Amino acid sequence: MDIDYIVLGALLHDIGRSVDCGTLHGWEGFKLLAQTPFRRYASPCVTHWLKGRSRQQILDEGDMSPELVTEIMSAGNFEELGLEDRIICIADAMARGDEVVTVKDRYIEARKRYGSNPWIETNEKLTLEFKDEIDILLIRDLYSLFPKLSG
Ligand SMILES: [Fe+2]
């Protein structure tokens, strides 16, 4: 596992919020990092947002034009996420402010903030699938590593 990629990717995944705080911050972050020596860590900007969705899923659930989806999907392989990108997705979904929370709690808050919609529902489903994979690799529940979550 590429720990440097996970740490730097996790730290930089929301850097696009410096350009756009909306739904396209992942794409803005990718484009921003792609022009820097940190381009190696650009993918998590997109993968924490799209979570491995196919082009068709993005068109069905998102509100992006087909042209933009084509542009994004031609910039990298964002459909087959490596373990590192999945871990960043989970870490992102377990952070609420400066506290660690369960993925379910994080998405309860997301629904309060953005309302319920197909995109958020799929985000939670995909993130919980990533967590299931990590639980199997860990041979324990990921939450058991966090005393506050397992108590
Ligand atoms: Fe984000």
Ligand 1 centroid to Cα of residue 139, in Å, is 29
Percent of all residues in the chain with a pLDDT value above 70, rounded to a whole number = 99
151 pLDDT more than 80: no
Of 41, 57, 65, nearest in space to 16 by CA: 41
Question: What does the alpha-carbon distance between residue 115 and residue 107 come to, in Å, rounded to a whole number?
Answer: 10
Ligand 1 centroid to Cα of residue 42, in Å, is 13
pLDDT computed for residue 22 by the predictor: 87
Residue 150 CB partners (closer than 8 Å, separation 6+)? 141, 143, 144
Instruction: Name which residue leads in pLDDT, 43 or 23.
Output: 43
- Say if strands 99-100 and 95-96 run parallel, antiparallel, or are unpaired: antiparallel
Q: What are phi and psi of 116, to 5 degrees?
A: -85, 135
Strand partners, 96: 99
> What 8-state DSSP symbol labels residue 146?
S
Ligand 1 centroid to Cα of residue 69, in Å, is 18
pLDDT tens-digit map of 39-81: 999 999 999 999 999 999 999 999 999 999 999 999 999 999 9
Q: Domain tally for the chain? A: 1
Query: Which structural domain, as residue segments, surrounds residue 48?
Result: 3-150
User: Mean per-residue pLDDT for 117-134?
Assistant: 96
pLDDT computed for residue 97 by the predictor: 87
